[in-house]
A and B are shown apart, each in its own frame.
Chain A
Amino acid sequence: MPSSTEVVAQHSLQHHFANMEQQRESSTLGMWLFLVTEIMFFGGLFASYLVYRLLHPGAFEFGSEHMEFWLGTINTVILLCSSLTVALSVHAAQLGRNKIVAILLIITVLMGLGFLCIKGVEYHNHWVEGSFPGHWWHMDTSTLRGDDVSAAQLFFFIYFVMTGLHALHVFIGMVLLSFIAYFALKGHYTAEYHNPVHVSGLYWHFVDLVWIFLYPLLYLIAHKHA
Chain B
Amino acid sequence: MATTAATVERENYLNAGYGLKSWLLTTDHKRIAILYLISITFMFFIGGFFATMIRLELLTPAGDLMTSDTYNKMFSMHGIVMVFFFLIPSIPAVLGNFLIPMMIGAKDLAFPRINLLSWYIYTVSAGMMIYVILNGGVDTGWTFYPPFSTTYSNTNVVIAGLAVFVNGFSSILTGLNFIVTLHRMRAPGLSWTRLPLFCWSHYATSVIQVLGTPVLAITLALVALERLFHIGIFDPKVGGDPVLFQHLFWFYSHPAVYIMILPSMAVMSEVITCFSRKRIFGYNFVALASIGIAVLGFLVWAHHMFVAGISVYAALVFSILSYFVAVPSAIKVFNWTATMYKGRIYLHTPMLYAFGFIGLFTMGGMTGLFLAALGIDVHVTDTYFVVAHFHFIMVGGAVMAYLSGIHFWWPKITGRMYPEAWGRIAAGLVFAGFNLTFLPQFVLGYVGMPRRYHAYAPEFQVLNVLSTAGASILALGYLLPLIYLLWSLRYGEIAGNNPWQAAGLEWTTASPPPTYNFEETPVVTWEAYNYDELPQEVPVAQ
Contacts and interface: CB of A to CB of B under 8 A. Distances in A.
On whether A and B touch (CB less than 8 Å), the answer reads: yes
Interface string B186-211: 00000000000000000000000011
B230 A135 contact: yes
Contact of B241 (A15, A34, A55, A150): A55
A48 B242 CA distance: 11
B111 interface: yes
Interface stretch (B52-60, B177-185, B262-270, B470-478): B177-185
A51 B239 contact: no
B8 interface: no
Nearest to A39: B214
A29 B184 contact: yes
A38 B172 CA distance: 11
Contacts of A48: 222, 233, 244, 248
Contacts of B231: 133-134, 153, 157
A33 B214 contact: no
B176 A33 contact: yes
Nearest to A41: B214
Contacts of A43: 214-215, 218
Given A26-B185, A44-B218, A150-B237, A37 B110 contact: no
Nearest to A154: B239
B112 interface: yes
Given A34-B176, A41-B218, A43-B214, A25 B184 contact: yes
A82 to B, nearest CB: 25
Contact of B211 (A16, A22, A40): A40
A30 B239 contact: no
Given A44-B214, A48-B233, A151 B238 contact: yes
Contacts of A154: 232-233, 238-240
A52 B231 CA distance: 15
Interface in B369-394: none
B450 to A, nearest CB: 30
Given A26-B185, A30-B111, A16 B106 contact: yes
A81 interface: no
A212 interface: no
A37 B239 contact: no
A192 interface: no
Contacts of A71: none
A147 interface: yes
B225 A36 contact: no
Contacts of B240: 52, 154
B162 to A, nearest CB: 15
Contacts of B538: none
Nearest to A1: B113
A37 B210 contact: yes
B214 A40 contact: yes
Interface residues of A, number: 39
A26 to B, nearest CB: 5
B248 A41 contact: no
Binding site secondary structure of chain A: helix
A161 interface: yes
B218 A18 contact: no
A59 interface: yes
B329 interface: no
B107 A15 contact: yes
B247 to A, nearest CB: 8
A158 to B, nearest CB: 8
B248 A150 contact: no
A153 B232 contact: yes
B492 interface: no
Contacts of B217: 41
B212 interface: yes
B90 to A, nearest CB: 21
Contact of A147 (B107, B180, B239): B239
A107 interface: no
Given A16-B106, A16-B112, A135-B230, A150 B238 contact: yes
A47 interface: yes
B521 interface: yes
Contact of A37 (B108, B172, B177, B251): B172
A156 to B, nearest CB: 9
A52 B244 CA distance: 9
Given A44-B219, A47-B248, A55-B241, A22 B233 contact: no
Given A30-B180, A33-B179, A48-B233, A161 B222 contact: yes
- List the 6 shortest-distance A-B pairs measured between CB atoms, nearest first: A151-B239, A44-B218, A41-B214, A16-B108, A134-B231, A40-B214
30 contacts: A15-B107, A16-B107, A17-B185, A25-B184, A26-B110, A26-B111, A26-B180, A26-B184, A29-B179, A29-B184, A30-B110, A30-B111, A30-B180, A34-B176, A36-B211, A37-B211, A37-B213, A41-B214, A41-B217, A41-B218, A43-B215, A44-B214, A44-B215, A47-B247, A51-B247, A133-B229, A151-B238, A151-B239, A154-B232, A161-B225
Interface of A: 15-18, 22, 25-26, 29-30, 33-34, 36-38, 40-45, 47-48, 51-52, 55-56, 59, 133-135, 147-148, 150-151, 153-154, 157-158, 161
Given A134-B232, A154-B240, 20 more contacts: A22-B184, A30-B110, A30-B176, A30-B177, A37-B172, A37-B213, A37-B214, A40-B215, A41-B218, A43-B214, A44-B219, A44-B251, A133-B232, A147-B239, A153-B231, A154-B232, A154-B239, A157-B231, A158-B233, A161-B233
